[in-house]
Structure 1
Amino acid sequence: MNIVLNVTETERWSVLTQCIEGEFCLAEEIESEKGNGTYVLNDVCQVSFIEEILSSENIETVIVFYQQAEYYLAEKIRNGVELIYASEEWMGSLCQLTLLQKKNRTRIKLYNIEQALGEIPVLKNSLNSFGISVLNEHESEVSERDIYFLCACQFVLQTDEFKNFNRFMQAVSYPFKASSRIKIDVEKLIRFLEKNKGLIRGMEQENRLISKQIVRSHKCIEERIFMLRDENRKYKKLLLDNDKLKDLYDSLKEKSEGMVRERIDLLSKLKTVESENSLLIKQLQNVQNEIEAIFFNKDNNNSVHQKVGNEYSKIDFKKSFLIKEYKLSLLEEEVQALKKSYIWKVTKPLRLLRKIIFSKKTKFRDSESVEAILLSDLFDSEWYLAQYPDVADSKINPAEHYLRFGAVEHRLPSQLFDGDRYIEKYPDVAGSGMNPLLHYIKFGENEGRSIPKK
């Protein structure tokens, strides 16, 4: 498949496409074509499109036509486009094209549109080698060469970059016989200028009048601008004053809302104080009634104090009884262990003899620590046994159980002390390996350590 396309926007392309035989289509339609013929694209193509279609293996040759700089610039100026913008557009497009052609010399062929239209037979021979047919009978008009064309030629000649790039494009394009040099009929241009001299003078006079009007309009505009600036300053001042008033209003509104909130808070506090006062009055009345009752029931109070004292003495007795019971259980365990041993049976005569000579005192296993725990208000034996039924089943004294096993098993001695939280709060206790409740009894209380509750 061969593709014939144009990269410069010019009216001369529509003239050239009348000479070439092939299927005409748009650039966006070429992707759907899968034939092996020649496709002529009517619209102007970007260089990026050429690079895209070259990626297809079905495309054999891309014939790229471009318009020479002088003709392109003259046509653009004639249509009202600025010379600088048109020159940058032409240069940018063809620079990209030459870079792409350098990478794909065998697949991209460059042709000058004006030279091709000037030598149709040569173009026919060249394109026939690619299997593309050209109509030999077609005759094209010469591109218009007016004052715009003269300006374009002068611009290219005095701009080295354009002049050199024009030569480079001539070198990389198909070599037609005709030279790329442009011939201008100077006498024709002079006659054109003489013919339009009156028109030019009228235009000059009109331009002078327009210039005077522009000057007057410029003065009026300046005066109007000055007035607008003055009004703008006044408006900005009013905006500034308005912002200040708005800030003042917001500040006063915020203070007013604050005062309303304070008033509401004071009213609520007043109600709270009044309710508290009424409660205090009731409490004072109750206290007064209690004091009167105390004076009238002095004897009854004495009996109450006596009952309280009896309860405390019962508690002390109970704790001392528990300590003695614990010591007795220790003795019984030692006696039972000894009686079951073989040595006990063998040494029975010696014991009888030693009993006659010496008297022996039984030592409890760490009994002082157990006694300290039992006597502490932070240990509740009944609560401990009720909380942990397995301790009651083991027949071990609850204080000894907590000393030896309970703290390690994360059990609580009572609802008033939490050994795990005590160790967590004081890491030095954990490092000592001491029972947390025993540590508090012996050291922690004197050191001012707090009691962690459950």
Structure 2
Amino acid sequence: MPLVIYLGLHAVAREPALILPSGQRQVTLATLKVNDTAAPLDEPGSGQQKGEHVERHSNRVLFLETLSEDATRTIKQWLQQKATQHVTLVWLQPVPYIAAKLAQGEETESTLQAWQQMANATLNLFRQHRRQVTLIGADVGGVPPQRDEVALLTLPPAKHAPLFTLAASQLLATSSAMQETAAHLSASSTCVYPQAEEVVDQVINTLRDHQKNSQQINDLEQQSTQLKLEKKSSEEKLSAEKEAHQKAQQQIAAQNKKLTSVNEENDLVIAELHRVQELLESKLIEREELLKQRDDVRNHYEIAIQQRDSALQQLDQRFTQLQQLHLELKKYQAEQKNLTSRIDRYQTQLNVQKEEFQQALQEQSTWLMWVRSNASHYMAATYKHSRSYRKTLKQQAALVQASQYFDKQWYLEQYPDIANSTMDPVEHYLKFGVLEARNPSPNFDTKFYITQNPDIAESGYQPLLHYIQHGQMEHRQTKLEQLHLPSPLQAPEEASGSASGENAQASQEAK
């Protein structure tokens, strides 16, 4: 029964046992100190395939906050009990670990030291027990990779603010030691939880551009409000000056009327000139002062008109600037929409590539399982039962040669190195050709038959012999059938011309 150890999950889940499925059992360090009396797994091909599948997913799980010296010593002692003991060590990536600790209020320096110490202890344990320890890098919110021997947990997504994730990424980028340690862990790991770092960087850059555009919009709104206030102040000032000018004109008209009355009185009382001379002089002085005031009012009025014209000109200029900024804002919004569309397209391409990679990895793992099982059976038959093996080989060669799935002429034409040798083509295929993934005829694909039938891969059975004896009665497929689909309708030239540039750029960035 395999043992799976999860390191550092307490940072992202306070009680990691709650996310443990019912089919898996949690153990402690005290359990590992007792001798493991679990029965070994059955050999492949013994007819217990269904039982093996249940046993393989009934994992024993151990949660550790960190890999202390006591925990490391206990794990080493448990591994040394039996050479068949195996540990799958799932370590948490530095960014989610640091972000979760910072969100809990931990100090930055102590958090970085804690992850560095845990990573170094993990690397030391792996280097001392490479054959018994498998490393897997984990991340929150992602789908775990598919593993035949163990069922990995799906970690819950982060509940803290994205600001802590950005801070953790910045801290990792400024620490060369942590980057080097994380690189060593990733290189030593069999696989890691899938990530989309390029898509995340593009989303962060888009978010920054959006914040910058929002700041520019706020600045433009503040400028527009200030311009409106200045315009209102200028209009109020101009209105006050107009009222003052009207009052001055009324005063001038009144004084002119009074002056006319004085002149008429002067004509009538010319005889009394000496008596009213002082009064007349005073009136003349008053008139001069009023004339001076009138001139001053006219000057102020002209200045006010000039200021009004200048203010109106400035308002026109700022209104033009505001229109230009509004056009730029629309342009930024269109670019933002284009970036969002590109991000969605890249995410779709990434999902397709991920599915293709997982399928290829599964096929390669199945092929490697068959090669190991076949090699073990072949060596045992060669060195322990050589006579029986030669007799069996002749029987198998006769069975293969009599079948319609081995074409001797095609085999020699397809592989000229066999034609130049003296070995019989049927014997070469049974001994070496199947291990080299060679095909006996165009109607039988060796590697396809093995990768599409996991029971044959686990048993190490010769694929062509299995198909002749059992597979054809079970109607198993011998090669990949190519489906010829009709060609899609071509788009109009205008649409293809406009989309060619974007497709070329998208394919280059995807590579």
- TM-score band w.r.t. shorter chain: 0.3 to 0.5
TM-score, normalised via structure 2 length? 0.32
Structure of greater relative contact order (alpha carbons < 8 Å, 6+ residues apart): 2
TM-score, normalised via structure 1 length? 0.35
